[in-house]
Amino acid sequence: MTLSAPTADERPRRFYKSVSVTEEGGGFTVRLDSRAARTPLKRSLTLPTAALAELVAQEWAAQGERLDIAGMAATRLACTVIDRGEDARPGLVREAARLAEADALCYFAEGPRELVARQEAVWGPWLDWAARELGVRLVRASGVVHQPQPAESLLRVEALAGALDDFALMGLGFSGPLYGSIVLAFAVQRGALGAVDAFEASRLDERFQEEQWGVDHEAAERTARLRRDAAMLQAWFDAIRHTM
**Cα gap 169→175, rounded to integer Å:** 10
Report the range of poorest mean pLDDT among 64-73, 149-158, 194-203.
64-73
Q: Do domains 13-76 and 86-241 have the same CATH topology?
A: no
User: In Å, what is the CA distance from 195 to each residue of 12, 145, 170, 192, 237?
Assistant: 31, 28, 15, 9, 9
Question: Strand pairing partners for 107?
Answer: 141
CA-to-CA dists, residue 56 to 21, 52, 173, 207, angstroms: 10, 6, 18, 32
Backbone region of residue 143 per phi and psi (left: phi > 0; alpha: psi in -120 to 50; beta: other values): left
Residue 34: which residues within 8 A CB-CB, separation 6 or more? none
Q: How far is CA 102 from CA 38, 114, 144, in A?
A: 37, 23, 10
pLDDT band of residue 219 (cuts 50, 70, 90) is: confident
Q: Residue 65: its pLDDT value, please?
A: 94
Q: CA-to-CA distance for 197 and 188, rounded, in angstroms?
A: 9
Which amino acid, 208? Answer: F
Query: What's the CATH code, domain 86-241?
Result: 1.10.3580.10
Taking the whole predicted model, whether its pTM rises above 0.85 is answered as yes
pLDDT one-digit tens code per residue, 122-144? 999 999 999 999 999 999 999 88
Confidence label for 56 from pLDDT (cuts 50, 70 and 90): very high
pLDDT digits (tens, 9 = 90+) for 26-50: 899 999 998 999 999 999 999 999 9
pLDDT band, very low/low/confident/very high, at 7 (cuts 50, 70, 90): low
- Whether 2 shows a pLDDT value over 90: the answer reads no
pLDDT value of position 175: 97
Higher pLDDT pick, 198 / 241: 198
Radius of gyration (Cα) for the chain, nearest Å?
20
- What mean pLDDT do residues 237-243 have? 84
What b/e string do you get for 189-216 counting C-beta neighbours within 10 Å, with b at 16 or more? beeebbbbebbebbbbeeebeeeeeeee
Closest CA to 94 of 176, 179, 165: 176
13-76, CATH topology level: ATP12-like (3.30.2180)
pLDDT in tens, 61-109: 999 999 999 889 999 999 999 999 989 999 999 999 999 999 999 999 9
pLDDT of residue 4: 43
> Per-domain residue ranges for the chain?
13-76, 86-241
Per-residue pLDDT band at 1 (split at 50, 70, 90): very low
Closest to 39 (Cα-Cα) out of 83, 95, 90, 8: 83
| pLDDT surpassing 90 at residue 9 | no
